[in-house]
Amino acid sequence: MSKLPSTRSETTFVDAKRGYSPLQALTEAHRCLYCVDAPCVQACPTAIEIPEFIRKIATGNLRGSARTIFAANIFGMSCARVCPVEVLCVGSCVFNEMDAPPIEIGKLQRFATDAAFERGDRFFAAGPASGKRVALLGGGPASIAAAHELRRRGHACTIFEQGQLLGGLSTTGVAPYKMRADRATEEVDWVLGIGGVEVRLGVSVGRDISVQDLLQSYDAIFVGLGLGADRLLQLPGADLQGVRGAVDWIAAFKTGTISLQGVKSAVVIGGGNTAVDAVRELHGLGVPEVTMAYRGDETRMSGYEHEWRVAKVAGVRGLWNVQPLAYEGDGGRVGAVRFAKLDDQRQPIAGREPVVAADLVLLAIGQGRLGALLGDIEGISLDRGRLLVDAEGRTQNPKIFAGGDCANGGKEVVNAVAEGKRAAIAIDRDLCGGEAS
Ligand SMILES: Cc1cc2nc3c(=O)[nH]c(=O)nc-3n(C[C@H](O)[C@H](O)[C@H](O)COP(=O)(O)OP(=O)(O)OC[C@H]3O[C@@H](n4cnc5c(N)ncnc54)[C@H](O)[C@@H]3O)c2cc1C
Ligand code: SF4
């Protein structure tokens, strides 16, 4: 049973991409060329055997297809919905070079994995108990994927999560027109159905339990703490009501109910994917005027172009080459943002200070980093708050591994899953004296 209220604001959204009917899936699967050394596989961070799972759909082996996907990526169901396939597998499909539509890999993956999930299929069992214990810090996709892999190899796992929900940003961040929070938590329950993973919710590592204590009690530690809170700008008016971080606001409307009564215009500051999600969400929730304000021009924004295009078509306005100077308002509430117009060198142009009406201002200029939490642990090195690890997720401390956003600086769910799994295999190898079990 989901812990999420059924009345939460995100439920007003419907899937932006509809699923396939059996006939559509079959037709699309038969278009695939089943390439050798397929570029789509190389583009997938979890290296799913894409031609293999598509061929299994084409031959009516739906369960086998799902198994192929989950064997590589245990979050295959949500990744089918949330992966930026346009720049990964679908973007690499050979059909792009042939002036023909690429194979809809995400939709086919969703067709196979949804069917398995709805049937309650299980593919993997826990391995024989190894007697080793691993602590996983954070309950996002990186830690959960790592825990699943460790359980397959027989190691006992404990996840420490500061919040009351598992799934990290997959639950609280992903746009609801891609996947709602309840689907994310159901998937987590399904993954942890492998059994033997102790989950300790409401435990903040660093505050309620120290990494030093965990090092004493566990054979290895996987750090999957993600990024920190939204970065904010200390500008005049920063304490006005209605000025807040975008990730915090997104989590609030995905997991609960928010009121946008009286919000006629909203401004999102930033040009990345969180900013683009936020403007689409504000528009979808009925805010009449939504503006995305970015310090570069449209060609320089880091948000995916295909996502921004949808926002633009919906009527979201882009305000380019601007930098916020102050939030303005009356009676303690924000009412506008004053910007400086920037020139090509990103320098303010004297006398050009556009003011944009805003009853709500969301800051989407990045999230903070781990910083102090692990900085003083022996063998841990940080680069601007990002944990430094090798290709297998090892830090210089032989007992500590890491993966996901806290180590890669903030990528996608599929990267977190790949890195969590890779680190789990390395942990297993170390715990078993050099032989992966
Ligand atoms: C708004 C937004 C939209 C996104 N949309 C997409 C998308 O459409 N597709 C996609 O693939 N990716 C998307 N992403 C990125 C994706 O969600 C992340 O890359 C992924 O969730 C990272 O997984 P993780 O496990 O490394 O970290 P997280 O998902 O951040 O999980 C970390 C967990 O650690 C917990 N934690 C933090 N500190 C502590 C502590 N001290 N003690 C205990 N627990 C702690 C947190 O509460 C959290 O649950 C989005 C991100 C954002 C912000
Ligand atoms: S590149 Fe395209 S055609 Fe080739 S295997 Fe992958 S999906 Fe099929």
User: pLDDT at position 385, please?
Assistant: 84
Q: Which one of the ligands is nearest to 30 CA?
A: 2
* pLDDT score of 370 more than 80: no
pLDDT given at position 1 = 46
Calculate the average pLDDT of the chain. Answer: 95
In the DSSP assignment, the letter for residue 40 is H
Q: Which residue has the higher pLDDT, 374 or 210?
A: 210
Ligand 2 pocket check for 44: Cβ under 6 Å: no
CA of 402 to the centre of ligand 1 (A): 14
User: Which pLDDT belongs to residue 258?
Assistant: 93
Q: Please, which residues have CB within 8 angstroms of residue 429's CB and are 6 or more apart in sequence? A: 435, 436
Task: Answer yes or no: is the C-beta of 206 below 6 A from any ligand 1 atom.
Answer: yes
Q: Which atom of ligand 2 is nearest to the CA of 39?
A: 1
Cα separations (Å) of 396 from 24, 192, 376?
50, 29, 13
Beta strand segments in 20-79, E: none
Q: How many whole angstroms separate alpha carbon 301 and alpha carbon 385?
A: 23
Region of 237 please: left (phi>0), alpha (psi -120 to 50) or beta.
left
* Closest ligand to Cα 165: 1
Give the tens place of pLDDT for each residue, 402-431.
999 999 999 999 999 999 999 999 999 999
CA-nearest residue for atom 4, ligand 2, is 35
β-sheet bridge partners, residue 221: 135, 400
- Whether residue 138 has its Cβ less than 6 Å from ligand 1: yes
Q: What is the pLDDT of residues 78-115, one digit of tens each?
A: 999 999 999 999 999 999 999 999 999 999 999 999 99
pLDDT of residue 435: 62
CA of 99 to the centre of ligand 1 (A): 37
With a 6 Å cutoff on the Cβ, whether 40 touches ligand 2 is yes
Specify the pLDDT at position 374.
Answer: 82
| 179 CA to centre of ligand 2 in angstroms | 25
CB within 8 A of 109, min separation 6: which ones? 48, 53, 69, 76, 79, 80
Question: DSSP E strands: which ranges in 250-391?
Answer: 265-269, 289-293, 317-319, 322-330, 333-341, 355-357, 360-363, 382-383, 386-387
pLDDT tens-digit readout, 306-339 = 999 999 999 999 999 999 999 999 999 999 999 9
Give, as one character, the DSSP assignment of residue 367: B
* Three-class SS state of 307: helix
Q: How far apart are CA 369 and CA 380, in angstroms?
A: 14
Give this prediction's pTM: 0.96
Q: Can you give the pLDDT at residue 368? A: 85
**Which of 50, 107, 108, when mutated, tests ligand 2's pocket best, judged by the most ligand atoms within 8 Å of its CB?**
50
The pLDDT of residue 21 is 97
- The residue among 277, 109, 321 whose CA lies nearest residue 178 is 277
Whole-number pLDDT of residue 111: 98
178-203 pLDDT, tens digit each: 999 999 999 999 999 999 999 999 99
Give the pLDDT band of residue 437 (cuts 50, 70, 90).
Answer: low
Q: What is the mean pLDDT of residues 214-222?
A: 97
pLDDT at 372: 66
Nearest to 278 by CA among 292, 265, 294: 292
Determine if ligand 1 sits within 6 Å of the CB of residue 420. Answer: no
Residue nearest to atom 6 of ligand 2 (CA): 40
Q: Is the CB of 105 under 6 A from ligand 2?
A: yes
Span from the CA of 26 to the centroid of ligand 1 (angstroms): 34
Q: Which atom of ligand 1 is nearest to the CA of 415?
A: 19
Within 10 angstroms of residue 397's Cβ, the number of other Cβ atoms is 16
142 CB less than 6 Å from ligand 1? Answer: yes
Residue 278, phi then psi, degrees to nearest 5: -65, -40
C-beta separation of 10 from 181 below 8 A: yes
E strand or H helix that includes residue 220: strand 220-223
Cα distances (Å, whole numbers) of residue 228 to 42, 191, 368, 400? 31, 25, 4, 20
Strand partners, 337: 327, 356
